[in-house]
Amino acid sequence: MDLTVGAIPFYFSSMGAEAWYLKRRAEREGPSSSDYERDDTLANLAMGTLSLVVPLATRALAEKIAPQRSKVGKGLVAAAVAGTAVTTWADRRARKARRADEREQARQVARIAGPTTIAVGGLAAATAFATATSPKALWGSKGRRGRDLGTGAVALGAAIAGWDFIYYWNHRFDHETRYLWAYHVAHHSSERYNLSTALRQPVADVFNVAVPFGALSLLGIRPALIETARQINLIYQYWIHTDVIRTLGPAEEVLNTASHHRVHHGSNRRYIDRNHGSILIIWDRLFGTFEREDPDEPVIYGLTKNIESFNPVRITDHEYVDIVRDVADSDNWRDRFSFVFRGPGWAYARRAELDAELADRGAEAVPAA
């Protein structure tokens, strides 16, 4: 049985205990951003349920439409190639057009073809990558060279440590690459921070892994142990979504704790993109992304621009919608790819520039009185 599913009774009982404690604390000390709020908690529970159910479909879908396995996948590649040609033609026509109406018609073609091409090509690339780098696929590959650590304590320890190391990089890339941030942002969208926040998980993770966990198979770690490491990783991360536990003393130097993870969820400038570790905080210390919680600067939870919605669909898709809009409004491939693959900070700054350019175009199109 999946350990994360088996832990569901623990999740609910611990959330109930925390909610009871926080309610009593609020009566004594006043409300805080960690208090349970009905709509926020319901959204968290809905997202947690979706994160368990949706991957059952997306993982099966990925295997069926991967280009190396199906005609559908090959069709996606062909469509992406055709879309690239159409978009490139429309960009050139818009730049060379002498009449405003011809230029606008070409831009409309690019507005549709550009995002469609990137979406279709991205789906083909993601499914091909996910299928080729799954633990099962790499375990059966020649790259393993017969290595097998078995099923003992050493193998399990290697699986947990290896998963933790890869998780650090994937989690860091989730914050530093926009199309990955679009997937991960759902988890950061709550303006509250309690155990239920841990359940606000994104969905369809099969399409959003930068460094494949399947690489552990090449070291001789069996796929079943890699899956067990994943489950242990998720269960560990559950308890660090709380402000009830303030510090673990010396363990703070090695483990990712509630204090360190509160920093990670902060939208304060000094806390943004810090503390990406899962079980261990040593990776952040080694690679320069560690930040200690400062009692003089309380954590402000949520996003730098909050979405003001408890709708799970809105929570899940709002950044993807913004990416489609940004790609559609771009008039060159450099901007289109940058909006997808560069960092969210760059994208938001460039979006402001595009808004100014579009406003100027609109002003030019208005005939003088």
26-39 per-residue burial string, b: 16 or more CB within 10 A, e: under 16: eeeeeeebbbbbee
Compute how many other C-beta atoms are within 10 angstroms of the C-beta atom of residue 209.
Answer: 20
Residues 131 and 137 sit within 8 Å (Cβ to Cβ):
yes
CA distances from 77 to 51, 70, 333 (A): 28, 11, 18
CA within 13 Å, CB half, 214: 18
Burial class of residue 100 (count of CB atoms within 10 Å of its CB; 0-12, 13-18, 19+): exposed
Residue 301 pLDDT? 98
Residue 30 pLDDT? 97
Amino acid at 123: L
Cα R_g (the chain), whole angstroms: 23
Residue 367 pLDDT? 59
Residue 2 pLDDT? 86
Residue 368 pLDDT? 54
Residue 366 pLDDT? 57
Residues in the chain where the model's pLDDT stays below 70: 206, 361-369
Residue 337 pLDDT? 97
Comparing CA positions, the residue from 283, 203, 319 lying closest to residue 274 is 283
pLDDT tens per residue across span 217-268: 999 999 999 999 999 999 999 999 999 999 999 999 999 999 999 999 999 9
CA 258 to chain centroid? 20
Residues 22 and 34 sit within 8 Å (Cβ to Cβ):
yes
Domain boundaries, the chain: 3-65+133-344
CA within 13 Å, CB half, 250: 0
pTM: 0.93
Residues 242 and 18 sit within 8 Å (Cβ to Cβ):
yes
Q: Hey, CA dihedral for 244, 264, 3, 226, is it positive or negative?
A: negative
Residue in this structure with the two tokens 């590649």, named with its chain if needed: 77
The two most distant CA atoms of the chain are separated, in Å, by 82
